[in-house]
Amino acid sequence: IYYIMSLRDFGTQGQEVKPKFMSRAKQWTEEIENLYRFQQAGYRDEIEYKQVKQVDGVDRWPDTGYVKKLQRRDNTFYYYSRKRECEEKEVQKVKVYAY
Note the pLDDT of residue 59.
Answer: 96
Q: Cα-flanking dihedrals φ and ψ of residue 77, to 5°? A: -115, 145
Digit-coded pLDDT (tens) for 52-65: 999 999 999 999 99
At residue 28, does pLDDT exceed 60?
yes
Within 8 A by CB and 6+ apart from 40, the residues are 78
Note the pLDDT of residue 13.
Answer: 53
Note the pLDDT of residue 2.
Answer: 44
Q: CB–CB of 41/53 below 8 Å?
A: no
Within 8 A by CB and 6+ apart from 17, the residues are 7, 10, 47, 51, 99
Instruction: Tell me the pLDDT of the chain averaged across its residues.
Output: 89
What whole-number distance in Å separates Cα of residue 14 and Cα of residue 12? Answer: 6
CA dihedral 10, 12, 17, 21 (to 10 degrees): -10
Higher-pLDDT residue of 22, 1: 22
